[in-house]
Structure 1
Amino acid sequence: MWTSGQYRRLVRASAWYDLVVMAAFVTPWSFVALHGLLASITRLFDLPGQLPPFEPMHLLMANLLGSIVCVWAVLRIRDPQPVYGRYDAAGRVLFAAWQLYAVLHGASAVLWAFLFFELAWGVSQLLPVRGEGHTRVQTSALS
C-alpha cells in the first residue's frame, strides 16, 4: 500500500522512465538509430523473433507513439496526480497485452524487456493508496 506522497513520486518516476525510453521514438532519425541498436542486440544475443526493417508508415506510427507518450510523461512529471497514475496503469496493461501478443506472434524477443517494465510500472500503480477511498467519499459528499 502506498501513501499519497509515495504514490505521487511513483507516478512521476514512471513518467521519467517513459520520457527517457520513448524519447528516441519521437523523430524519424532517432528512431532509426534506436531500431539499429535493437536489431544489433537481437543479433548479438541471437534472440528469437523478427525485428523487420521499418517502412515509412511504420516509422510514422512509431513517431506518433513516441510523441504522445512523451507528452503524457511531461504532464505526469509536472502534475503527478494519483488519477493520472491509475490511467497510466490502464495504458500499461494495454501496452503489455499488445507487446505479449506481438512476441507470441513472432516479434523480436527484445520486447520481453519492455514488457517487464510495463508490467512492473502498471502493477505498482494499481496498488492501493492509503486513504484513497476515503478521499473519494469526501469529494462525493461535497458535490
Structure 2
Amino acid sequence: MSTVTAPADRRYLRVVRASAGYDLVVTAGFATPWSYALLHAALSGLGDRFGLGTLPALEPAQLLYANLMGSIVVVWAVLRLRRPSRRYGGYDGVARVLFALWQGWALAHGFSAMLWPFLLVEAAFAVAQLVPLARSRPRPGAARAGSAEPAEGPDQRVLS
C-alpha cells in the first residue's frame, strides 16, 4: 500500500491528529486518582462560578470509572497521534458518536450544563471524521480481493 499523498487525505489525517490532541489534553487529568481529584475540584469551581452547576461529590466508584476512561482515552490518543490513519479516524468517529449520545443522555437527566461544550466538540469531531469516510466508501457490490479483513500494514490508510 502506498503512503497517503492526496491533499484530502492529508487534511483528514490532520483532523485525526487534532482530535487525538484534544483527547490527550482533555482526558489526561482523568487518568490518575490524584489528577482527577484536582480536575474535579477545578471543574466544580468553574461550574459554580458560571452558574452551570457542580459535579457530584467524589466517590470511589466515580473515581475508578473516571480513571479507567482517562487511561484508555490517553492511550488511544497517543496511538492516533503517532500513527494517524483513516481506519483509526473512523473508529474514533464512531466512539465520538457514542460519547455524544451518552453526554446528551446525561444532560437530559439533569447533569451539569458544563457538559455542553464537550458534547459539541465530540459531535464536531464525529462529523469531521465520519463524513469524509462516508463520501469515499467503495461502491456497493465491489468485492475486495482476499480475506474479509485485509492484513495490517504500516502504511494502510483505509477503514475496513
Q: Give the AA of the match of 1:18.
A: D
Q: Determine if the alignment matches structure 1 residue 59 to structure 2 residue 49.
A: no
Matches of 2:13 and 2:81, distance apart in 1: 9
Q: CA deviation at 1:131?
A: 8.6
Asked if the contact 2:89–2:129 (Cα under 8 Å) also holds between the matched residues in 1, the reply is yes
| Deviation >3 Å, runs of 4+ | 129-134
Give the match for residue 155 of structure 2.
none
Q: Determine if the alignment matches structure 1 residue 35 to structure 2 residue 40.
A: yes
Give the match for residue 118 of structure 1.
122
Question: How many residues are matched?
Answer: 140
Give the match for residue 8 of structure 2.
3
Give the match for residue 104 of structure 1.
108
What secondary structure does 2:97 align onto?
Answer: helix
Q: CA deviation at 1:22?
A: 0.4
CA RMSD of aligned residues (A): 2.3
Q: Determine if the alignment matches structure 1 residue 12 to structure 2 residue 17.
A: yes
Asked if the contact 2:90–2:133 (Cα under 8 Å) also holds between the matched residues in 1, the reply is no
Structure-2 change in CA distance of 1:129 and 1:93 (3 Å): closer
Structure with the larger helix share: 1
**Uncovered stretches (5+) of structure 2, i.e. residues with no partner:** 1-6, 148-160
Matches of 1:10 and 1:59, distance apart in 2: 30
* Percent pairwise identity: 52
Q: CA deviation at 1:141?
A: 3.7
Normalization by structure 1: what TM-score?
Answer: 0.88
Asked if the contact 1:4–1:129 (Cα under 8 Å) also holds between the matched residues in 2, the reply is no
Asked if the contact 2:28–2:74 (Cα under 8 Å) also holds between the matched residues in 1, the reply is yes
Q: CA deviation at 1:19?
A: 0.4
Matches of 1:142 and 1:4, distance apart in 2: 25
Asked if the contact 1:4–1:130 (Cα under 8 Å) also holds between the matched residues in 2, the reply is no
Higher RCO (CA 8 Å, separation ≥ 6 residues): 1
What secondary structure does 2:51 align onto?
Answer: coil
Matches of 1:139 and 1:32, distance apart in 2: 52
Matches of 1:66 and 1:91, distance apart in 2: 14
